[in-house]
Amino acid sequence: MTPDPSPPARNAAHRATVPLTKTSEEPREPAEPSLPEHDAPPPNLTAGEDGGRHRMHRPWSARRLPAAVVASFVLVAAGAALVDVVAVRAGRPAAAWRRRLADELATRPVDDVWMLTGAAVAAAVGLWLIVLALTPGLRHWLPMRSPAPGLRASLDRDGAADLLRDAAMQVPGVGKAHIRVRRHHVKARADVRFRDLQQVKDDLTAVLDEERDRLALASPPRTGIRVRRHTD
């Protein structure tokens, strides 16, 4: 009697379905929630790099008007002289103005009034051009502090005066305020309608100093304040 082959087949099939690796039945510990990454603090736009140690300057003016005036004068003078030289080379007589100028320069002494006047005018014009070349100009703009040396910003004086005037009008007792902003100082004049003059001046000084610091100027100007009793 031969044994039934079916049970070994079932056992083999059963062994084939058993996984080769057994996963752990132990419960996994929940992963700790990651802490939120803090964003880097934004740069302080009111202070320069390393505490504002780099110095800010006014932007340089293009000097379009002086350059146009000098270029036009040189162009007219050089063009007239060139035309006259070409005419002389072509066999024509020299222009009357050139002959007159040559005669005056050859006959007049050095201490003549017209010679001294012309020399003074030429020296003044030359000095003016040198000053324009060595100075940035744009005196109506106030440089502001910046977080990077390559980033520059400027504030118009009239705009700064308007901001300071609005701050001054918030002081109790001030009926009218007049603000003038210069490069190194701020002049403020206020009419007081009520309250003690000294108290109003102290409050006005504190408010204007705080508003001036908010402007983030590279060289904060000094504040000078005058108060007077308003009279109708």
Long-range contacts of 46-55 (CB under 8 A, 24+ apart): 46/145, 46/214, 46/216, 47/145, 47/147, 47/216, 48/145, 48/146, 48/147, 48/149, 48/218, 49/147, 49/148, 49/149, 52/145, 52/218, 54/149, 55/218
Give the pLDDT confidence score for residue 55 in this predicted structure: 61
Give the pLDDT confidence score for residue 59 in this predicted structure: 72
- Report the half-sphere exposure of 1 (CA within 13 A, side-chain side): 2
The structure's pTM equals 0.56
Give the dihedral sign, CA 57/62/65/68: positive
Average pLDDT over residues 148-161: 82
pLDDT at 124 exceeding the cut of 90: yes
* Burial of residue 190 (number of CB atoms within 10 Å: 0-12, 13-18, 19+): buried
Q: How confident is the model at residue 232 (pLDDT cuts 50, 70, 90)?
A: low
pLDDT at 92 exceeding the cut of 60: yes
Give the pLDDT confidence score for residue 207 in this predicted structure: 92
The answer to whether 84 and 95 are in contact (CB under 8 A) is: yes
pLDDT, greater one: 50 or 88: 88
Read off the pLDDT of residues 2-47 as tens digits, 9 standing for 90 and up: 444 444 444 444 444 444 444 444 445 544 444 444 444 444 544 4
Read off the pLDDT of residues 187-206 as tens digits, 9 standing for 90 and up: 999 999 988 899 999 999 99
